[in-house]
Amino acid sequence: MEDRILIVDFGSQYTQLIARRIRELNVYSEIIPYHAEPDLNGVKGIILSGSPHSVLEKNAPKVNPVFLENNHSVLGICYGAQYIANDQGAKVLPSGHREYGRANLKGITSHPLFKGIPENSQVWMSHGDSITELNDKFELIASTNSIPVAAYHVQGKNIYGIQFHPEVYHSTDGVQLLKNFVVDLCGCDQSWTPQSYIETTVAELKEKIGDQQVVMGLSGGVDSTVAAVLLHEAIGDRLHCIFVDNGLLRKNEFESVIKQYEDLDLNVTGVRAGDRFLDALKGKTEPESKRKAIGATFIQVFDDEAHRIKNVDWLGQGTIYPDVIESVSASGGPSATIKSHHNVGGLPDFMKLNVVEPLKWLFKDEVRRVGKALGIKDDILSRHPFPGPGLGIRILGEVTHEKVRILQDVDDIYISSLKKHKLYDEVWQAAAILLPIQSVGVMGDERTYENVVALRAVGSTDGMTADWSHLPYEFLSEVSNNIINRVKGVNRVVYDISSKPPSTIEWE
Ligand code: XMP
C-alpha cells in the first residue's frame, strides 16, 4: 500500500484544497469527516483541517485522541492548531473580530517545517479565535504583527500547528510548507502518479470482482469512459457497457460515441430508445417533470437491457471524488436528498447490485490525466460536460421530434464552429437553447414567423459558479449567419450574457 496523508475534515471550506495540494506533490491524500472511524493503514501523516466552529464552544467537534497518540505526525491548520493548543493547556481566546485576509510571518525560526520559507512570507488568515499564549510544552516557530502564535511545534512530538491556510493560493510559500511536512517530516514518497493509480486500481478491481460480471451505463462523457476503461483493463469483456440513445443527444453523437467505445475495445451495447423518451415527454412543459420523465425512462430502458445479461453482480459507476466528499463532508452534503428516492419501493434490479466506482478517489483533472495515461484520445477527455437529460432541458417547453431536429442542427453548427476557431477548449461548456417563442423576420421578400435560439458559453472550474464567455463578435456573427441560413425554422439568434449566480448554466 502506498504512503497516505489523512485529512480530517472539521467542515472548513478549504479541506478539498488541502487534498489537492498534497496530491499535486504526488502524495496520495484522503479526506475523512472528523467523526468517522479512521483506517490508519499506510497513513504517514494526519492533517486536521480548519472549521467554522470554535474550540471554545461547548459542543466543539472533537479530534479523535488516537491521532494525537502513538507518535503520529500531525499538522493542525487553524481550528486544528487551536484544538491541539487548547488540549495541551495553551491559551486560546476569541479575537474580538474575525481576522481575514493577508498577513506576513515574523520571527520565523530555523525549524524544518519552515525550511526555505523567508521572513515576511505572505500567508492567508481566516479565523475568529487566536492562540494567545503557549506553555513550555510548545516551541514557537512564527508570529505575525497581529497574532503572537502563527506556528508552533509540540516539543518531543511530531505534532505542529499553524494558524494560517497554506493550501490557498495567497499563502505564497504554502506549498513549500506542506511539502516540508509531508515529505521531510512524515517521510512520504512522492510516487503517486496516474500510472501508479492505474496499477493499484486495476489490481484492486481484479481482486474485488474476481470472476464476476459488471454492468455499466456509459454517457459518452469523460468520467464514465475512464471508469469503464479501467474496469475493462481489470476484467475484460466481463464488463458489459450500455449506451442509451435517449433521442436527446447531439447530432450524430450516438454513432460517433459507439465507434469511440469500439475503438477502445469496450464491450458495449447501443440501445436506440429515442421514441420511448419522446413519448414520456409528451405534453410535459415543466422542467422538473421533464427531468423526472427522462430519469424514469432511463431506468426502465437500462433495467430492460441489464436483464439480458446473465448473472450480473456489480454495477459500475463513474462517481468522482467531489461527489463523494459532498456526501460525507463534516458539514453534511446533499446526500440525504440525493439518496431519498432510492428508498422508494420497487427498485429496479440493477440498483440492488453492489456498486463499484473506480474513480471514487480522483478529482476531475486527475480523471483526465488517468484517462490520458490509459491511452484515451483527447477528443473524449476534453469534452464539455453534457447534462444527462441532454437537449431535453435545452428545448424549453414541450419536446418534439421536430424541435430536437432543429436544435441538433443549430448545436452542430455552433460546436463545430467553436472547434474550427479553436475556441472549444477555451470555454468550459457551450450550449444552444431553443426558446419557446417565435419572432418575425424577413427572408428574401417573405415575412417569416419562426423560432429563436440562444447561444451560451461559460467559463467555470466546477459548474458551481460560471462567467459568460466573451466570444469574439466576428465569431458570433459568423455562427449566427450560418444558423439562420442553414437551419430551417430559425430566424433569430441571441447570445446569453448572464453569469451563475444568479442565472444557472442550463436554462431549465
Ligand atoms: P446548472 O444549470 O445547474 O448546471 O447551472 C450546472 C452543471 O450541471 C449540468 N446539469 C445537469 N447534469 N443532469 C445532469 O447530469 C441534470 O439534470 C443537469 N442539470 C444541469 C449542467 O450542464 C452544468 O454542467
Please indicate whether residue 387, judged by its CB atom, sits closer than 6 Å to ligand 1. Answer: yes
Any residues with CB less than 8 A from the CB of 329 and at least 6 apart, and which? 9, 11, 15, 31, 33
Residue 346 is predicted with a pLDDT of 58
What is the domain partition of the chain in residue ranges?
A: 4-185, 194-381, 400-495
In angstroms, rounded to a whole number, what is the distance separating the alpha carbons of residues 229 and 13?
33
Amino acid identity of residue 423, one-letter, is L
Q: Give the single-character DSSP code of 241.
A: E
Residue 333 pLDDT exceeds 80 = no
Degrees, nearest 5: CA angle 483-255-235: 140
Domain at 4-185: CATH code = 3.40.50.880
Residue 404 is predicted with a pLDDT of 98
Please indicate whether residue 388, judged by its CB atom, sits closer than 6 Å to ligand 1. Answer: yes
> How close is the Cα of 504 to the center of ligand 1, in Å?
9
Angle between helices 222-235 and 194-209 (to 10 degrees): 60
Domain at 400-495: CATH code = 3.30.300.10
Residue located nearest, by CA, to atom 3 of ligand 1: 504
Residue 339 pLDDT exceeds 60 = no
Residue 322 CB coordination number (10 Å): 15
- How many CA atoms within 13 Å lie on the side-chain side of 21? 24
Residue 13 is predicted with a pLDDT of 85
In angstroms, rounded to a whole number, what is the distance separating the alpha carbons of residues 462 and 481?
32
Helix extents (H) in 364-472: 364-373, 378-381, 401-420
Any residues with CB less than 8 A from the CB of 222 and at least 6 apart, and which? 364, 367, 368, 371, 380, 381, 383
The answer to whether the beta carbons of residues 48 and 38 sit under 8 Å apart is: no
Categorize the per-residue pLDDT at 160 as very low, low, confident or very high, splitting at 50, 70 and 90: very high
Best CA proximity match to 15, nearest among 99, 126, 105: 126
Using CA atoms, how far residue 453 sits from 139, 312, 408, 479, 491, in Å, is 65, 44, 12, 12, 8
Q: Please state whether the peptide bond connecting residue 501 to the residue before it is cis, i.e. omega within 30 degrees of 0.
A: yes
Q: Please state whether the peptide bond connecting residue 502 to the residue before it is cis, i.e. omega within 30 degrees of 0.
A: yes
Q: Is 188 a catalytic residue?
A: no
Q: Give the single-character DSSP code of 359.
A: T
The answer to whether the beta carbons of residues 314 and 279 sit under 8 Å apart is: no
Categorize the per-residue pLDDT at 336 as very low, low, confident or very high, splitting at 50, 70 and 90: very low
340 burial level (CB within 10 Å; 0-12, 13-18, 19+): exposed
Q: Which atom of ligand 1 is nearest to the CA of 429?
A: 24
Place of cell 471554545: 56
From 223, 506, 508, give the residue whose CB has the most ligand 1 atoms within 8 Å, as the site to mutate: 506
Asked whether this chain's domains 4-185 and 194-381 adopt the same fold, the reply is yes
What does the pLDDT average to over 172-183? 98
Average pLDDT of the chain?
92
In angstroms, rounded to a whole number, what is the distance separating the alpha carbons of residues 17 and 66?
24
Residue 98 is predicted with a pLDDT of 73
- For 256, the 3-state DSSP assignment is helix
Residue located nearest, by CA, to atom 21 of ligand 1: 387
Beta bridge partners of 429: 458
Q: Is 398 a catalytic residue?
A: no
Q: What is the 3-state secondary structure (H, E, C) of 74-99?
A: EEEECHHHHHHHHHCCCEEEEEEEEE
DSSP for 127-166, written as a single string: EEEEEEE--TTEEEEEEESS-S-SEEEETTTTEEEESS-T
Amino acid identity of residue 485, one-letter, is N
What does the pLDDT average to over 26-41? 93
Read off the pLDDT of residues 358-368 as tens digits, 9 standing for 90 and up: 998 888 889 99
Please indicate whether residue 505, judged by its CB atom, sits closer than 6 Å to ligand 1. Answer: yes
Place of cell 475534515: 9
Q: Give the single-character DSSP code of 388.
A: T
Q: Both ends of the chain: CA-CA distance in Å?
A: 46
Categorize the per-residue pLDDT at 329 as very low, low, confident or very high, splitting at 50, 70 and 90: low
The answer to whether the beta carbons of residues 144 and 152 sit under 8 Å apart is: no
- How many CA atoms within 13 Å lie on the side-chain side of 31? 32
Please indicate whether residue 427, judged by its CB atom, sits closer than 6 Å to ligand 1. Answer: no
Any residues with CB less than 8 A from the CB of 173 and at least 6 apart, and which? 116, 117, 118, 121, 166
Using CA atoms, how far residue 58 sits from 53, 54, 117, in Å, is 10, 9, 37
The reply to whether CATH 3.40.50.620 applies to domain 194-381 is yes
Residue 72 pLDDT exceeds 80 = yes
What does the pLDDT average to over 56-84? 95
Residue 335 is predicted with a pLDDT of 30
- How many CA atoms within 13 Å lie on the side-chain side of 161? 29
Q: Write down the catalytic residue from 167, 305, 366, 508.
A: 167
Read off the pLDDT of residues 452-499 as tens digits, 9 standing for 90 and up: 999 999 999 878 889 999 999 999 999 999 999 999 999 999 999 999
Read off the pLDDT of residues 374-396 as tens digits, 9 standing for 90 and up: 999 998 999 999 999 999 999 99
Residue 66 CB coordination number (10 Å): 12
